[in-house]
Amino acid sequence: MRRVIWFTDLGRDDVSLVGGKNASLGELITRLGPAGVRVPDGFATTAEAYREFLDTPGLRKRIAAQLDRLREGEPLAEVGSAIRAAVLSTPLPSALERDLGEAYERLGGNVWRTDPDVAVRSSATAEDLPQASFAGQQETFLNVRGREALLDACRRCYASLFTDRAIDYRERMGFGQLSVALSVGVQLMVRSDLGGAGVVFTLDTETGFPEVVLISAAWGLGETVVSGQVDPDEYVVFKPLLKDPALNPVLQASVGPKRRKAVYAEQGLTRTVDTTPEERSRLVLNGTEVRTLAQWAVAVEEHYGCPMDLEWAKDGPRGELFVVQARPETVQSRRRGAVLRRYRLTGTGERLVDGIAVGEAVGVGPVCALADPVDLERFQAGAVLVTAITDPDWEPLMKRAAAIVTDHGGRTSHAAIVSRELGVPAVVGTGRATTVLADWQQVTVSCAEGAEGHVYAGQVDFEESETDLGLLPQTRTRVMLNLADPAAAFRWWRLPADGVGLARMEFIVAHQVRVHPMALVHPERLSPEDRRQVDALTEGYCDRTDYFVDRLAQGVALIAASRWPDPVIVRTSDFKTNEYARLVGGTPFEPVEANPMIGWRGASRYYDDRYREGFALECSALRKVRDELGLTNVVVMIPFCRTPQEGDRVLSEMAANELARGRNGLLVYVMAEIPSNILLAEQFSMRFDGFSIGSNDLTQLTLGVDRDSDLLAHLFDETDHAVTRSVESLIATAHAAGRPVGLCGQRPSNDPEFTRFLVQAGIDSVSVTPDSFATVKQHVAAAERS
Q: What is the largest CA-CA distance in the chain?
A: 94
C-alpha distances in angstroms, 505 versus 159, 483, 560?
A: 55, 10, 12
Helical H runs in 28-131? Answer: 47-54, 59-71, 76-88, 94-110
How many Cα atoms are found within 13 Å in the side-chain-facing hemisphere of 184? 34
C-alpha radius of gyration, the chain, whole number: 30
Supply the DSSP string of 261-286, one letter for each residue.
Answer: EEEE-TTSSEEEEEPPHHHHHS-SS-
CA 320 – CA 40 distance, rounded (Å): 11
The span from the CA of 750 to the CA of 449, in Å, is 11
- Does residue 144 come out as left (phi exceeding 0), alpha (psi in the -120 to 50 range) or beta? beta
How many of the other CB atoms lie within 10 Å of CB of 205? 15
Give 611's DSSP letter: T
Pairwise CA distance, residues 407 & 428, whole Å = 6
Q: How far apart are CA 421 and CA 490, in angstroms?
A: 11
From 171, 161, 95, 162, select the one nearest 123 (Cα to Cα). Answer: 161
Q: Which of 262, 25, 11 is nearest to 123 (CA)?
A: 25
Contact 311, 323 (CB under 8 A): yes
CA 432 to chain centre: 35
Strands (E), 490-642: 500-504, 568-571, 634-638
The contacts of residue 318 (CB under 8 Å, 6+ apart) are: 191
Catalytic positions: 414, 744
Strands 270-274 and 442-446: unpaired
Beta-bridge partner residues of 277 = none
What does the alpha-carbon distance between residue 82 and residue 67 come to, in Å, rounded to a whole number?
Answer: 10
In degrees rounded to 5, what are phi and psi of residue 195?
-130, -115
CA dihedral defined by 570, 572, 576, 578, rounded to 10 degrees? 100
Nearest residue to 496 via CA among 453, 461, 530, 467:
467
Which has the closest alpha carbon to 694: 640, 761, 618? 640
